Amino acid sequence: MIYRCTRERAKKLVETTEGLMKKASIPLRDSWFGFEGKNYDNLDINKRDLDAAKVFEVEIIRDGKMEILCELEEYSIFSSAVYKWVKFLIPLRLSRTTNPLIHEIVHVLQHNNIALDQSYIQHIKHPDNYIAYISQRSETEAHFVQLMYIRQYEFPIHLEHIRREFEQLMDEALVAPAKRVGLIFYANEKGII
């Protein structure tokens, strides 16, 4: 099933993600000018119109993992790539919460280029790989913002007994970014993400 978020919903999700990234001191890519700003993404789809609306396509899939399908393009005026097109794939089991989509939106808003994209370490179910995977700047940033969103809007009620400990670790990682990988590992182990 494919649907496009309403423009209002997409704008709210993007602006919420931008705000969380700012709070975490994670810079936006230099080729991003805000949801309402000039649109260097989707140029082919929008017939090279920089004022055209951003395309925000989401597909709910039966099984699998959350991921982004996209095509990057680089322009010499930016250090970050732009997205010719983007589609977010969300497994049905994750579609009832917003935090997985926030994670993926971070990837679209953060610095990226073709070389970084090609050296990206995919996650496989193995403990050694998980540390390498979450230690990548792109994944550390995306998971941390996802956890910020969870803390504010979607903390699991069945984990209330660890909330105080989680919030203390979040506060520490907010001011000491070197602690973020450990926090992410903790959150994964405890079933928060």
Amino acid (one-letter) located at 31: S
Number of compact structural domains in the chain? 1
Report pLDDT digits (tens) over 77-99.
999 999 888 888 888 888 889 99
pTM, whole model, 2 decimals?
A: 0.91
**pLDDT band of 46, cuts 50, 70, 90:** low
Residue 70's SS3 state is strand
Amino acid (one-letter) located at 99: N
Give the pairing of strands 57-61 and 82-91.
parallel
Q: Which residues contact 146 (CB under 8 A, 6 or more apart)?
A: 99, 100, 102, 103, 106, 193
The C-alpha atoms of residue 15 and residue 37 are separated, in whole angstroms, by: 12
The C-alpha atoms of residue 16 and residue 63 are separated, in whole angstroms, by: 27
Residue range(s) defining the domain that contains residue 21: 2-189
**pLDDT band of 121, cuts 50, 70, 90:** confident
- Compute the average pLDDT of residues 35-64: 78
Q: Which percentage of the chain shows pLDDT scores above 90?
A: 53
pLDDT at residue 125, rounded to an integer = 66
**pLDDT band of 42, cuts 50, 70, 90:** confident
